[in-house]
Amino acid sequence: MGLETLHKHGWTCFAQDAKIAKWVAHVQPHAADIALNPAHIAAWLRYGGTWFAGVNILPNDLCGRLGTGPALAGKAVNFLTELHGPLALDQAQISVIYPGYPAHDGSESEAAHRYRHIRCAAHVDGLRPEGPDRRRYIQEPHQFVLGIPLVATSEQASPMVVWQGSHHIIRAAFKSVLDTVPGADWPRIDLTEVYHQARKKCFETCTRVTVLAEPGECYVLHRLALHGIAPWGEGAVAPTAGRMVAYFRPQNDCNLHDWLNGTY
């Protein structure tokens, strides 16, 4: 646990914390309402109704406070504050996964669907494929990913998976290209090839681990870690509201040098 684990493995988990539990107790009913709102469903329901993506949909403030509820607090927040300064959170993603994820509804190619199934749609955040050729550029230099489970589920209910240590490989690969380029030009550098090669190396050399956490627990993912969401497994146990997680991915000042190098 802690910085050493985050640095070494690319993720770390925080044990049950009353302050996180209190935040979850306030937010969960609102998150459930959001995922049932027809307008939000129209915008965010994907893959045959098996994933509500809900990106930046929770109207929380910079401290994670929703309405009159508590600000986000606890050991994980202290940990992140020490690394990055006072909380300056984005609006949380409310990600809800339902039985059958990922159903193939024709919205993505057979190859992309297969990748979603076999490789859990593994990706590094912030480099979304762009255009018909799916080219990758730095778009969203997050500081970290903070995952906060809002419901209890079994491990078959589409957990996050991480390729342990992958952030070292991804970082080295991006540095091999970007270290010789002025920072101002980085967003224009096509990282597609180097990203694909690094991702392949991660699959070949890193252990894939499942991140399991209950409400009151939470986890921090390194900004360069390769991760994805496992398909819904047989015998998965989850509430009818689905497997629901709030993710914070603040960009703050979009400092690309920190994103690539940082202190960890």
| Binding site residues, Fe ion, CB under 5 A | 125
Q: Which is nearer to Fe ion, 70 or 262 (CB)?
A: 262
Report in angstroms how near the CB of residue 189 gets to Fe ion at its nearest: 21
Residue 174 CA to residue 194 CA, distance in Å, equals 7
Closest-approach residue to Fe ion (CB): 125
Instruction: Indicate the residue among 27 and 221 with the shorter CB distance to Fe ion.
Output: 221
Separation CA 82–CA 85 (nearest Å): 6
Burial group, residue 262, by CB count within 10 angstroms (0-12, 13-18, 19+): middle
Nearer to Fe ion, 57 or 73 (CB): 57
Q: Residue 90 or residue 125: which is nearer to Fe ion going by CB?
A: 125
Smaller CB distance to Fe ion: residue 17 or 125? 125
Q: Is 149 helix (H, G, I), strand (E, B) or coil?
A: strand
Give the whole-angstrom CA distance, residue 143 versus residue 260: 10
Helix, strand, coil percentages for the chain (3-state, nearest 5): 35, 20, 50
Q: Which amino acid, one-letter code, is at 230?
A: A
* Residue with smaller CB distance to Fe ion, 67 or 196: 196
Whichever of 12 and 73 has its CB closer to Fe ion, that residue is 12
How many angstroms separate the CA atoms of 59 and 64, rounded? 9
- Least separation in angstroms between CB 25 and Fe ion: 25
Q: Where are the alpha helices (DSSP H) in the chain?
A: 3-9, 18-36, 38-44, 75-84, 110-118, 166-178, 192-205, 256-260
CA distance 223 to 7: 11
CA distance 246 to 58: 9
Minimum distance of Fe ion from residue 93's CB (angstroms) = 9
Q: Cβ distance 31 to 58 under 8 Å?
A: yes
